Amino acid sequence: MDLGLIGQQRSGKTTVFNAVTRGHARAGSFGGLEPSIGVVKQPDERLDRLCALVKPKKMTQTEVRYLDFPGGLTVRDQAPDAAHLAALAQCDALVHIARGFREDPAASVDWHRDVGDINLELAFADAGMLGRRAKRLDTGVRSGRPGEREAGERELALVQRLREALDNEEPLRAQTLSGDEQRTISGYQLLTNKPLVIMLNIEESDIGKIDEIEAEMRERCAGPGIEVGALCGKLEQELAELSDEEAAEFRADLGLETDGVARMLQLSQQALGLITFYTVTDPEGRAWALAQGATALDAAGKIHSDIARGFIRCETVGWQELLDCGSYAEARKRGLLRTEGKQYTVQDGDVLHVLFNV
């Protein structure tokens, strides 16, 4: 999962990046430089507990890759850099770090305004891309063969409809599109069609109000494909310098029930509509990300294409059921280790063992 960090200048975006990756990317505006990239192993308590039970030789967590561009999405009222937008287009989802803290009491802090400004820039970028696509389609429709003209006319009508939606300040992720229409525009890599996580970067003094802040954010920013949350980037960066035990103790002293970094990862997964399934055997215990609603055959393909090709059946048990039973043998004895076919819909937390023959 690739996540692109976006935001205005001085939003604390790079501070959050450092907290997430436990790295030290430079903060500031250095237009034209390549993004900082950090690969993070996603913490997973369920995987930890499953591996403690089965004791595999190796444990593999799911990986998340963060891209952080120097400076903000816009610099001194200039349009976003084309290379910046092109890199964001390759990301699976966008994480907008919005400023909710004051360094200068006289500074204007309005996170909702900033979110609107960034959304407008993304919409402009998409409108420009769709406009260029419409011109090419129009030329093709006028000069193409009858069969090609029909397909071109359908795509042109879709493109024009999407442009109208953007003109009405409606992001593409909020559009109702058929499966065929989604497949048609999948290659466009439109930014407002990507899942969005809005994280408000708050002051340490506001930590006790996180629930209230997030409730307001949901009320003001709710929409399809959007998740919202709040964290204190400065505090999270400081905690990233501590051991896990020290950080947990510090959070407890502050009355912080949730890890802001883990929360952001969780929200990103929710925005993308992903679940997690597990394969836990003697050689390796591993977590896998999978689209919600995917089948056992899809899960087998995630593990290896040969396993999907030779799929016979899969054995599945819920992660908590396996822990409660204490072993696969006991789960089978109690009738909790079920045999499922290719079309079984994988559930979040399922532990799968796929039987195959190639």
pLDDT digits (tens, 9 = 90+) for 261-280: 888 888 998 999 999 999 99
Asked whether residue 286 is domain-assigned, the answer is no
Same domain, 299 and 240: no
Q: Is residue 54 domain-resident?
A: no
User: Is 253 domain-assigned?
Assistant: yes
- In tens, the pLDDT along 302-314 reads 999 999 999 999 9
Q: What separation in angstroms does the CA of 7 have from each of 14, 95, 116, 187?
A: 10, 8, 11, 25
Confidence label for 243 from pLDDT (cuts 50, 70 and 90)? confident
Are 266 and 299 part of one and the same domain?
no
CATH number of domain containing 310: 3.10.20.30
Mean pLDDT of 181-197: 90
Residues 208 and 310 in one domain: no
* Predicted local confidence at residue 29, as pLDDT: 46
- 236 and 177 share a domain? yes
Residues 193 and 88 in one domain: yes
> Is 109 a domain residue?
yes
**262 and 154 co-located in one domain:** yes
Helix axes 260-272, 13-21, angle to 10 degrees: 100
Residues 133, 21, single domain; the answer is: yes
On whether both 301 and 242 belong to a single domain, the answer is no
Same domain for 230 and 312? no
Segment 168-188 mean pLDDT: 87
What are the tokens at 39?
A: 């690969």
CATH of the domain at 196: 3.40.50.300
* CB burial of residue 270 (10 Å; 0-12, 13-18, 19+): middle
Identify whether residues 16 and 124 lie together within a single domain: yes
In the predicted structure, residue 106 carries a pLDDT above the cut 70: no
Q: Give pLDDT, residue 240.
A: 85
Last residue within a domain, chosen from 241, 272, 303 = 272
Same domain, 204 and 327: no
Mean pLDDT of the chain: 87
In this structure, is residue 279 part of a structural domain? no
| 158 and 107, same domain (yes or no) | yes
CA 238 from chain centre, in angstroms, equals 24
Range(s) of the domain holding residue 151: 1-49+64-272
68 is a domain residue: yes
Q: What's the total number of domains in the chain?
A: 2
Q: Do the domain assignments include residue 103?
A: yes
Highest mean pLDDT among 99-103, 134-138, 233-237, 297-301: 297-301
Q: Examine residue 287 and state whether it is found in any structural domain, yes or no.
A: no
Tokens 């990046």 belong to residue: 17
Can you give the chain as a three-state secondary structure string?
A: CEEEEECCCCCCHHHHHHHHHCCCCCCCCCCCCCCEEEEEECCCHHHHHHHHHHCCCEEECCEEEEEECCCCCCECCECCCHHHHHHHHCCCEEEEEEEECCCCCCCCCCHHHHHHHHHHHHHHHHHHHHHHHHHHHHHHHHHCCHHHHHHHHHHHHHHHHHHHHHHCCCCHHHCCCCHHHHHHHHHHCCHHHCCEEEEEEECHHHHHHHHHHHHHHHHHHCCCCEEEEEECHHHHHHHHCCCHHHHHHHHHHHCCCCCHHHHHHHHHHHHHCEEEEEEECCCEEEEEEEECCCEHHHHHHHHCHHHHHCEEEEEEEEHHHHHHHCCHHHHHHCCCCEEECCCCECCCCEEEEEEECC
